[in-house]
Structure 1
Amino acid sequence: MTAEQMASFAPHETGTLYLVPTPIGNLDDMTFRAVKTLQMVDLIAAEDTRNTQKLLNHFEITTKQISFHEHNTQARIPELLAKLQAGQNIAQCSDAGMPSISDPGKELVKAAIEAEIPVVPLPGANAGLTALIASGIAPQPFMFYGFLPRKASEQQAVLAALKDEQQAIIFYESPYRVAKTLAALQAGLGDRQAVLARELTKKFEEFIRGSLTELIDYAKAGVRGEFVIIVAPGEPVAPERSAVPLAEQVQALVDGGERPNDAIKAVAKSNGLKKQAVYNEFHGL
C-alpha cells in the first residue's frame, strides 16, 4: 500500500469513513465541520441511535443512522465495509466526544485501512484533554488510560505498571464506581494530588482538587455525573547509589573496553548523577 493510496483526499473509488466527534455536554461544542459532515454523508454509524437522534434533531440533520456499538461490532463491520466499498460515505460517532477512544470505532478504522478505504478524522470535544488543561496539574508529559479494568486483580496489575510513570495520568469513571476507583488509585499509586472533573462543559461543571484521600471522602458523600480523574505524577525515585567509589566504577568500565567519556556517562546514569560530577570525581578535580 503506497502513501498515495493512503492519502485521505487522494482520488479513490470507494467511499470515505469520517470519524466525527460529538459534544461531551454542551451542544455548542459541535463544530461547523462536524455538522456539515453529518449532513453530507450517506449514513451515520452511531453508538446509540436514540441518543444521536437528539443531536441530529437539534441541528436539523436528516441523514439515516445505523447502530454500531460494542455488542454488534463484529457483525456490523462487514456490512459497513461493503457500503464503503460501494462508494457510500459513512460518519462514525459515539455518544459523546471522540469516537474510537473509550467507545466503539477502532475495529472499524482498522478494517477500513486494511481495505484501503480512506479514513478522515475530525477534531472536536474530548473530555480527557478538556479536564487536563484546567486541572492545575502539569499537562506535559501526560498519558491517557481511560477506564480501569473492573476486576481487582487486573486493576492492581495495571496500577503496579503505572506506579513509576513520571507524568499525569488521565482516567475515566462513572459516578457509580468513582469512590472505589479513587480508593484503588490511592492503594496502587500512593496518596498523590489529583483532580476530579465532573459534568464537563455542562451547567454544573465542577473541578474538585486535592489528595486522593480527600477526593475519596468527597466521592463517598454521593456524586452524580460522568468523571475524569487526573492523577499527578509520583515523586521520582532516585537510583540506588553503589557503595563502590565513582572513580572505580568508571575505571572498571574503561578497563573493560569502554571509552572514558562513555564510561562516565554510564556511571552518571546508573547513579542518578550529573555527568559533570562523575567527570570531576574520576579526574580528581
Structure 2
Amino acid sequence: MKRRNIGAHISVRDLCHRYRRHEELALSGISFEIKPCESIALVGRSGCGKSTLLHILAGLMSPTSGSVRIDGALVSGPSPDRIVMFQQPHLLPWMSVAQNVGLGLKFAGEARHERDEKVKELLRLVDLDGFGARNVQELSGGQQQRVALARSLATHPEVLLLDEPFSALDPVTRRSLQRDVRRIALDGGITLVVVTHDIAEAVAMADRAFIMAPNPGRLAEILKFDADLLAGTDREREMFVSAKAQLESAFERTYGRGSAAAAD
C-alpha cells in the first residue's frame, strides 16, 4: 500500500458491560493503553468477553460504563478507521474477487480507474495477484480470508481488529496468514488487536498478550514479548518457544493447571 498510516493510540478506562437481559456483568473494570502500531492479543477461553471487548473497541457495541478513546476521541460508533475481520469472510458470492475488495471504495465514491488501481495493489499485497476476475466461490478458505483482508485494508484503517478469523483454516494456511497480517500491519502502520484462544497464534502475532479471566470478563495479566518472532532464524525460534512457555504459564495461572494444553 502506498499510503502508510501512523497507527492509532487506544485508551480504555474502567470499562464495564452487561447485556440487557442479564444482570451479571460480561466485562468489569477493564483499563489499558495500546500504543500506535502496537499489536495486541486478547487471549482467553470462550466466554471470557474477548469478542465483546473487541466489538466495543470497534464501536459496534456501547459499554454500560467506562470509555474507549482512539487518539483522544471518544468511540461512540463504527468508523472506517476501525475495521473488524470476523471468523467468516462474509464475501458477496455473486461478485468477483476484485468487486468484493473494491466495495468499500465504491461506496466511498472513489472514481472507477482509481478504485481499480487500488484493488490491483491490494491483491498483490495479500498474494492474490491475478485473482481479480475469479468468483470468490472458486477460492479456498484461506484465499477467501485474504480477499477479506484486502477488503479490510482498502480504506486504510488505523486499527485492524481480528475476531479469530483464522480459526477454521488448516494449520499451514493459518500460520501463513498470521505472518502476512503481522507483516502488513507493521509495514502499513496499523494498530492490530487480535482475539484468540490459541497461545501460539498470540505469540506469533502480538507485541503483548492480555490474558482475560471470566465471570465477569476482566484483565488477569499482561505479558510482553521482547522480540519480533516472525523471521524464523534459530534464535527467533528459541525465543518463540520461550515466549510461548511464558504465555502458557500465565494462562494456567488464570485458568488452572493443564488449561494451556487445551488452548493450543
> TM-score when scaled to structure 2?
0.29
Larger radius of gyration: 1
The answer to which structure, 1 or 2, has the higher relative contact order (CA under 8 A, 6+ apart) is 2
Q: Which is richer in strand?
A: 2
